[in-house]
């Protein structure tokens, strides 16, 4: 019993057709992967920041800086200019200690004004800044 070609004609030729079935299968799998992952790549994150009660800070002798609605800056309750504040903060840092700043800003201020004050504090060499806030009325304390 001999196994051979049905066509016993001339010399054997290489197969000139490409089998498309595996190519189509791979392309369909890739298409499904892209369909599933594309929405994840373009998803915008919507942030609704929570309101929370924080425990009182236990910082010893913080520098208290306040920014009023009329953009006046207060250092420990006294009105001060930006240049005077920067000089005073640099003096604190030059003493060798790393002070902590408690920053109080009016809620009606533009974010840009608060950021400028934070940049001034950081440029003076202070890296520890804490924000002082008041809880909203009617807000429950989750720690109780």
Q: What is the pLDDT of residue 84?
A: 92
Q: Which domain holds residue 96?
A: 63-131
Q: Please check whether residue 71 lies inside any domain of the structure.
A: yes
Whether 142 is in a domain gets the answer no
49-73 per-position pLDDT tens digit: 445 566 666 677 888 888 888 888 8
DSSP letter (8 states) at residue 138: T
What tens digit of pLDDT does each residue of 106-135 get?
A: 877 888 888 999 999 999 888 888 887 776
Report the alpha-carbon distance of residue 42 to residue 4 in Å, rounded: 58
In a domain, 7, yes or no: no
SS3 call for 130: strand
3-class SS of residue 104: strand
**50 inside domain:** no
Contact status, residue 105 vs residue 67, Cβ threshold 8 Å: yes
Total tally of structural domains belonging to the chain: 1
Start-to-end CA distance of the chain, whole Å, equals 92
Q: 53 in a domain, yes or no? A: no
CATH number where 94 lies: 3.30.420.270
Residue 14 lies inside a defined structural domain of this protein = no
Quote the CA–CA distance of 118 and 82 in Å, as a whole number: 11
Does the residue 103 lie in any domain?
A: yes
């Amino acid at each position: 019993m001999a196994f051979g070609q049905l066509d016993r004609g001339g010399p054997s030729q290489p197969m000139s057709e490409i089998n498309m079935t595996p190519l189509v299968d791979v392309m369909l799998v890739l298409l499904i992967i892209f369909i599933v992952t594309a929405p994840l790549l373009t998803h915008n994150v919507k942030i609704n920041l929570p309101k929370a009660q924080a425990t009182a800070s236990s910082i010893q002798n913080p520098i208290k800086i306040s920014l009023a609605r009329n953009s006046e800056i207060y250092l420990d309750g006294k009105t001060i200019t930006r240049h005077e504040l920067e000089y005073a903060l640099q003096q604190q840092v030059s003493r060798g200690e790393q002070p902590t700043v408690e920053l109080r800003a009016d809620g009606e201020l533009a974010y840009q004004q608060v950021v400028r004050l934070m940049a001034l504090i950081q440029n003076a060499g202070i890296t520890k800044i804490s924000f002082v806030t008041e809880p909203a009325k009617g807000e429950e304390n989750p720690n109780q």
